[in-house]
Amino acid sequence: MEAAIQVTKISKTFTLSRKQQKIEQSKTKTKVAVNDLSFEAYPHEIYGLLGPNGAGKTTTLRCISTLIKPDMGDILVQGKSVMKEAGDVRNAIGFLTSDMKLEDFFTPNYLFDYFSKLHGVPEDLAAKRKAALFHKFGIDRFAEVKVGELSSGMRQKAQLAISLVHDPDVIIFDEPTNGLDVLTAKVVTDYLIELKNEGKAIVVSTHIFSLVEKICDRVGIILNGKLKATGLLQDLVAPEDTLEDYFFRLAQEEGDIQ
Amino acid sequence: MKNIWTIFKKEWDRVIHDRRLVISVMLLPGLMIFLIYTFMGTAIENFTTVETANIAILNDTAGFKALYEASEDPLVTDIESITAEEVVTYQEKVDNEEWHLIIVFSAGFETYAGGVDKPGVTLYYNPNNPDSSSVFGRFQGYLITYQNSLAFELYGDTRYFILETSNTAIDPNQMMGLIFSSLLPMLTIMFLFSGAMSIGPESIAGEKERGTIATLLVTPVKRSQIAIGKVLSLSVLSLLSSLSSFIGIIVSLPKMLAYENLDASIYALGDYAMLLLVLFSTVFVIVGVISILSAYAKNLKEAGTLITMIYLVVIIVSISSFFSQGAQQNPLLYLIPIYSSVQTMTAILSFDESVLTFLMLTFASNLLYTAIFIFILNRMFDSERIMFAK
């Protein structure tokens, strides 16, 4: 099967400001966020990028979504390069991260229509999708309430629905259940499994072991910008072992924990 | 094109459906200008209205009376004949700013027929009182004329030469043009800028700060379309904001200039059309600059600081119209953004002959600058370092 996402040897280095240098307690002016990282994600699967904060998960996802460009390497999304065909890549993906917010002044209803238009979705199709997604996440109850007045759970549901206006084949979620209450988190994870069953390729980043065990088919463990291990969950973790133990052993090898 | 319209519409809705923004951006500027100008007009009117001039005259003569009565408005001139005993009392009144002027003709003034003992006229006024000084100045003038006429009666024409001055009839259009042309361009540019300033940073720096720009940047819409959509909508909104100011100025200027007996009806429709063309093209340049600064700034606060600095420069450039007599004639100056707009407006308002050339140069150069600004903005939207600067 052809990979929906093919990440090939990407590296990304950031220049640190003085303030960031202090926060990172680093004496160098640059930080290698992602280092020679490669993995693939296929249709009909959820690929989980597991790693601690600052490991490079979000940077990798932002490279896939074309928000930033890798310094080296390339990423193909459905055969299109993020470096050369960024517009096509954006059309094919749905990207959700906590960095991406909705404007407080508008209602979920308005914003769904707005982003549908920007994605070139025909009006009648957009209306059908809106009805289905709003119903699924219970957004219809607050569709006409300004985003600024919504609770964080409602807001995330609206963000989720809006990131899927164009029914993308590739879905990228940065920390999909972060900040969600248990009920909403279940709605979201169930929906991700539903999307996978529809044939979508899904990449999620997380630091929650249980989430990976629950929804991911394959996992990539990322530490200090490097992919330490990747594969099917059952191949990486022995039956008598847990993902958590496996992860901490890798972190120990990496020198992240004593 | 469709995407540009979608982005335009959203930016438009953001402002138009926000009652507070509409009031502060669209209604308040015009209303404030109207109120300020009306107040200023009334204040100036009060300042320049002369109250009744009080003049006390001892031994007034028929010849002098004929002279001042011909020039003074009897409604605001109170002339009283006094006696020699009363002079001291009136002097006190003048000292206390209760009276303006005392004129004392010496006894036997009219019977003088030549000789050593010339009659005299004494004036008493209070230089500390501006009204007293003004009345003194007028009556001194009448007395000099009276003096000449009496000399003529006595000795015939003793003048060595006859001095006559004449001047071009005052053209009310040109007079009004000068007043308008020194005031309006500066005010218009300032209001145009402040209009754009109140919504521009919110649309770009605000989106960056709140993280909503990323949501827009992961859509397949081209960066150039985002740039054009935003600049277009901000320009139209800023234009509406400045139109509000403009209407405020037009409505209140007659009141402000009422004491000059001038009105703004001297301008034809064509003049207003030309002004609008300048406004249209200038607003693009202003919005372009504000958008670039907003895109560069890390947050709204920084954008505000950067834009205020440019605003100060723009004010200094706009003030140039205040100190120049009419429009600059060097066509090259019409390629300098903002300055060209100020000068072209001056040219339109003061009925300059080369106005069409200036207008074309300004319009074309403004469009060129706008294109350059949109190109830069497009590149900035594409730059992760600028868009995701922390």
Q: Are residues A106 and B13, on separate chains, in Cβ contact within 8 Å? A: yes
User: Strand B77-82 vs strand B53-58: parallel, antiparallel, or unpaired?
Assistant: parallel
Alpha-carbon dihedral A204, A207, A213, A215, rounded to 10 degrees = -20
Of the candidates A122, A124, A61, the one whose C-alpha atom is nearest the C-alpha of residue A94 is: A61
Tell me phi and psi for residue A49, to 5 degrees.
-95, 110
CB atoms within 10 A of CB B83: 9
Tell me, rounded to whole angstroms, the distance of Cα A95 from its chain centroid: 6
Distance CA A175, CA A139 (A): 21
Read off the pLDDT of each residue in B28-56 and give the average, rounded to a whole number. Answer: 73
Fold of A5-100+172-254: Rossmann fold (3.40.50)
**Interval B46-71: pLDDT, tens:** 655 557 889 999 988 888 888 888 88
Q: How far apart are CA A217 and CA B182, in angstroms?
A: 74
Alpha-carbon span A28 to A36, nearest angstrom? 20
The phi and psi torsions of B81 (rounded to 5 degrees) equal -85, 130
Contact list, B7 vs chain A (CB under 8 Å): 118
Query: pLDDT in tens for each of the 258 residues of chain A?
Result: 788 899 999 999 888 777 777 777 777 788 888 889 999 999 999 999 998 888 888 899 999 999 889 999 999 999 999 999 988 999 899 998 877 788 889 999 999 999 999 999 999 999 999 999 999 888 989 999 999 999 888 888 898 899 999 999 999 998 888 877 888 888 889 999 999 999 999 999 998 888 888 899 999 999 888 888 888 888 888 888 888 888 888 888 877 665
Residues in B 314-343 with any Cβ partner in A closer than 8 A: none
> Which residue of B lies nearest to A166 if distances are taken between CA atoms?
B219
Classify strands A80-81 and A226-232 as parallel, antiparallel or unpaired: unpaired
Interface test with A, best of B20, B212, B218 (most A CBs within 10 A): B218
The 10 Å Cβ neighbour count of residue B356 is 12
Other CB atoms closer than 10 Å to residue A18's CB: what's the count? 8
Residues in A closer than 8 angstroms to B221, CB to CB, are 118
Q: How far apart are CA B372 and CA B4, in angstroms?
A: 18
Residue A97 sits at the chain B interface (C-beta within 8 Å): yes
Residue B3 Cα, gap to closest chain A Cα (Å) = 6
Q: What tokens were used for B144?
A: 């000099």
Q: How far apart are CA B320 and CA A15, in angstroms?
A: 44
% of chain A exceeding 70 in pLDDT: 98
Look up the CATH number of domain B50-155.
Answer: 3.40.190
Are B309 and B232 spatial neighbours (Cβ–Cβ below 8 Å)?
no
